Amino acid sequence: MSPGSGAAAMLTAAPLPDRPGARLSGDCDLDSRQVLASALGIVTRIPGPVVHLDLSAVVFLDAAAVAALVHASATFTAQGRRLLIHDPPYSLRKVVEMFPDECAALEVAA
């Protein structure tokens, strides 16, 4: 469930209209793990040296979702590319604070 709401918001993904990447919306938790994995699989196949992931409409990410983002980012790094995360929710920032070494692969736009 989303913090402060009565029901979980279904996770959706859409391409960004102005640059290579995608925008996620909703919650990233146990119920949406498969949707997140599919979305990140597609994102890793988007061509370009930098791919953008807009999380401004993501309400919540659990620790497993953060781990999936770290894995996707590591995939980009192994390809000599960058996954640039925009507007992460509080839950992602909190997990990064608690596990800075494990989350070092994440690159958040300033």
pLDDT score for 19 = 97
pLDDT score for 8 = 65
Residue range 86-100, pLDDT digits in tens:
999 999 999 999 999
Query: Which residues contact residue 59 at a Cβ distance below 8 angstroms, ignoring those fewer than 6 apart?
Result: 2, 3, 5, 9, 26, 27, 89
pLDDT score for 3 = 47
pLDDT score for 9 = 81
| Secondary structure (DSSP) of 39-72 | HHHHHTTS-SSEEEEEEEEEEEE-HHHHHHHHHH
Per-10-residue mean pLDDT of the chain, 110 residues long, equals 58 96 96 95 96 97 95 96 97 94 92
